[in-house]
Structure 1
Amino acid sequence: MKYQIIALFAVIILVLSCTSSSKSTVLEGAGATFPYPLYAEMFQEYFELTGIEINYQPIGSGAGIKKFLKKQVDFGASDIYLSDDTIRKSEINILHIPICLGAVALSYNLPVSDTLNLSPQVISQIYRQEITAWNDPLLAALNPGVDLPDWDIVPLHRSDASGTTFIFTEYLTQSDPEWRDRIGSGQKVEWTEGIAVKGNQGLADKISETEGALGYLEYNYALSKNLKVAKVLNRSGNYIFPEIENVIASAQVDIPEDSRIILTNTEIAEGYPLSGFSWLLIYEDLDFLSNKAKAYNLVNLIWWMTHEGQEISSKSHYGLLPEIMKIHTEKFLKKIKYNNEFIIK
């Protein structure tokens, strides 16, 4: 289905007489693999609508942030927001534009038909090698009646700096004091055990081919490989599956004006505790871009992604943005300039 963008172009002044034609402009971005299945669909749809090509490199949040801060790409993408210190050190103000909500799933390769329950304490002990077998009594207690095999657990984790890792480790940090004190949260942490794998797709492939594997990855990647997915304990004491309505429920909280917020370990009864936003990173002043057409096309793209493009999110197992975030996003986009001229007037 083609989405109408007439209203968008009515509020954004497009300068078509720039050095480069808007139809031939290529936009460059890099970062998170977490939202890549959605971004791939959005960028293809936008290309069909406008002729604007988006060359997006799904290299992980950490690598994408580095490229963005060096101005090697037009925009970055991350599942972890930049720190106040990083923003202060930037010579140009950085805006976080939320695009979607997503879930980090716990997937496993076991010959069981039941959906497993996992608590943060048990997950923590697995990744710290204190629980090493699938039929451990602690796992059995969470899953009464499930015939757990006497198999070794093979914990998998990301090798690259990753927003997915941040969401996973932040959930454990908030939920389990042992994890907080020994490992903590971050895009990369010092893992005590486990097999390191690059990217969400790499995790999905490795889980699929490894008997006894347990790994964390964005939910769409688990779906694409038909992987088994666990229910995870939230702060309200409920085991929750990463269905989209449960992800959306986790965002029913007060959203700060800068849109930088952590949703892990939600208190909302039906909320999935490993949920998070994914952002595009864009500079408030776009003078570093090669021409005016590229600046206008970049803002047009982001407006479309946060408005008409949201319809794609709902069809792709990602959560729609809360309305308050759309309001914040419109304010952000109206701040962006090129050559001291506001792009949206």
Structure 2
Amino acid sequence: MKSLTIPLIPLPLALSMLMSVPAQAQTGEVVGTGATFPAKVYVQWAADYAKKTGQPLTYKPTGSSAGVKGITERTVDFGATDVPLSQAELDKRGLFQFPTLVGGIVPFVNLPGIGAGELRLNAATLASIWAGDITRWNDSALRALNPGLTLPHLPIQRVVRSDGSGTTTVFVDYLRTAAPSQAAAIVPDGGRAQWPGDTLGADGSSKLVAAVKATPGAIGYVSSDYAIRDNLSGVALLNRRGEYVQPTLSAFKAAIVAGALFKSQLEPTSLLNVDGVGVWPIVTATYVLVSREPESLERSSRTLNFFYQSFLLGDRAVAGTGFAPLPITTQARIVRLLTTFKTPSGKAVPVMGTSSAKSTVVMQR
């Protein structure tokens, strides 16, 4: 456990502000949209925040592309994306970007008699499956990796996201990074991909899970929280250390350490296929986008307060979700940055804890 000094108002004043905020901000509900990857966490954060403050907040998991579009057009208060924008894009759109949490993407299968973690794949075979070059489950390349399994003579049905999905982008990036020759035929296409051959499309992660469950021989990919919640048969993946690894919280944390995530700044850091002991090879941070110079002081204040208070919970904010928290120093850096926003007229956006008083906040590991 570490203690960090973060700008915070004294408790009596904080309580009085909590009581007064709903009265000044009852007009309109804060709305966010975007990535499905962190959706369950954001929905839970929103419920906790509404219970604490009386201020409603809605998050709509519409896909990363929709999140970027929504905040760019200012039709929502914040957008969420698994694919970070470049600084040039942020400047062009007038946006500020910050990470929120880290999770894994899990390839999973529907193979009769084969449970979670039993099927072993490496990057080359996984990419060959998704490129349409390995078409049956008892292919010799798969049998060589799984001598103890009886693989069925079933055709492989690939189920993909049909919407603009950051999960798809990250998954394809992993395939093309870890197995470039085998994945060469898989062409990135924004939040989608051009998959060789016939695939089954699903709009959103929930529908993708349902399609795989309904199709013997199917394979799909989802964020780790879906794999946990729906008890999916995720595969064991070979990492760069030659270890077959399961998609667990400890494996995601190992990737954070090996990839030196946000060690000194908030610039996006790739955690795909990083080299380290116990690392799950398909790990990514997910991001939130907000207006750098918000037009509405009240709506921006409520939006920033939402993330400010969620980050003050530290690691507890993601406990039991299937996601890993950001490094503690990164959480503290974001908390401080959320207190620095101004409107185009130069008026500071009030965020709880921005008084000159200081207090020690214990962010729990």
- Output the TM-score relative to the length of structure 1: 0.90
Q: Report whether the alignment pairs 1:80 with 2:88.
A: no
Q: Distance in 1 between matches of 2:212 and 2:9?
A: 45
Q: Distance in 2 between matches of 1:10 and 1:283?
A: 28
Percentage identity across paired residues of the two chains: 28
**Residue identity in the other structure for 2:196:** T
Counterpart of 2:361 in structure 1 is none
Q: Report whether the alignment pairs 1:116 with 2:119.
A: yes
Report if aligned partners of 1:109, 1:207 keep a CA contact under 8 Å in 2.
Answer: yes
Counterpart of 1:272 in structure 2 is 280
**Residue identity in the other structure for 1:284:** R
Q: Deviations over 1:49-91 (max 9, x none)?
A: 111111111000011111111111000011110123322322x
Structure 2 unaligned residues grouped into runs of 5+: 1-6, 356-365
Please report the RMSD computed on the Cα atoms of aligned residues, expressed in angstroms: 2.5
Shift in Å, 1:183? 2.6
Q: Report whether the alignment pairs 1:261 with 2:269.
A: yes
Shift in Å, 1:239? 1.6
Report if aligned partners of 1:41, 1:312 keep a CA contact under 8 Å in 2.
Answer: no
Determine which of 308, 311, 328 is the counterpart of 1:303: 308
Counterpart of 2:194 in structure 1 is 190
Report if aligned partners of 1:8, 1:303 keep a CA contact under 8 Å in 2.
Answer: no
Counterpart of 1:228 in structure 2 is 233
Report if aligned partners of 2:311, 2:317 keep a CA contact under 8 Å in 1.
Answer: no
Counterpart of 1:340 in structure 2 is 346
**Residue identity in the other structure for 2:249:** I
Residue aligned with 1:271, SS: coil
Shift in Å, 1:43? 0.9
Query: Residues 9 and 200 of structure 1: is their aligned pair in 2 closer, same or farther, counting only changes over 3 Å?
Result: farther
Report if aligned partners of 2:50, 2:56 keep a CA contact under 8 Å in 1.
Answer: yes
Report if aligned partners of 2:161, 2:203 keep a CA contact under 8 Å in 1.
Answer: yes
Query: Residues 17 and 304 of structure 1: is their aligned pair in 2 closer, same or farther, counting only changes over 3 Å?
Result: closer
Query: Residues 9 and 134 of structure 1: is their aligned pair in 2 closer, same or farther, counting only changes over 3 Å?
Result: farther
Report if aligned partners of 2:22, 2:54 keep a CA contact under 8 Å in 1.
Answer: no
Q: Distance in 2 between matches of 1:19 and 1:150?
A: 61
Determine which of 128, 133, 137 is the counterpart of 2:131: 128
Q: Deviations over 1:182-229 (max 9, x none)?
A: 334452221113211111111111111111110011121122222211
Residue aligned with 1:273, SS: coil
**Residue identity in the other structure for 1:135:** N
Q: Deviations over 1:280-314 (max 9, x none)?
A: 11122212x2xx33222111111112221641311
Report if aligned partners of 2:98, 2:289 keep a CA contact under 8 Å in 1.
Answer: yes
Shift in Å, 1:143? 1.1
Residue aligned with 1:304, SS: helix
Structure 1 unaligned residues grouped into runs of 5+: 1-6
Q: Distance in 2 between matches of 1:8 and 1:42?
A: 20
Determine which of 174, 178, 189 is the counterpart of 2:177: 174
**Residue identity in the other structure for 2:195:** W
4+ residue stretches of structure 1 with deviation over 3 A? 7-20, 22-25
Q: Distance in 2 between matches of 1:31 and 1:310?
A: 23
Q: Distance in 2 between matches of 1:266 and 1:97?
A: 21
Counterpart of 1:57 in structure 2 is 60
Shift in Å, 1:260? 1.4
Shift in Å, 1:25? 5.1
Shift in Å, 1:47? 0.8
Shift in Å, 1:24? 6.0
Q: Report whether the alignment pairs 1:317 with 2:322.
A: yes
Q: Report whether the alignment pairs 1:200 with 2:208.
A: no
Shift in Å, 1:341? 2.6
Counterpart of 2:224 in structure 1 is 219
Shift in Å, 1:113? 3.6
Q: Distance in 1 between matches of 2:248 and 2:172?
A: 20
Determine which of 147, 159, 163 is the counterpart of 1:156: 159
Residue aligned with 1:46, SS: helix
Q: Deviations over 1:92-124 (max 9, x none)?
A: 2x2222211111111100112451111111111
Query: Residues 57 and 24 of structure 1: is their aligned pair in 2 closer, same or farther, counting only changes over 3 Å?
Result: same
Query: Residues 229 and 9 of structure 1: is their aligned pair in 2 closer, same or farther, counting only changes over 3 Å?
Result: farther
Residue aligned with 2:288, SS: strand
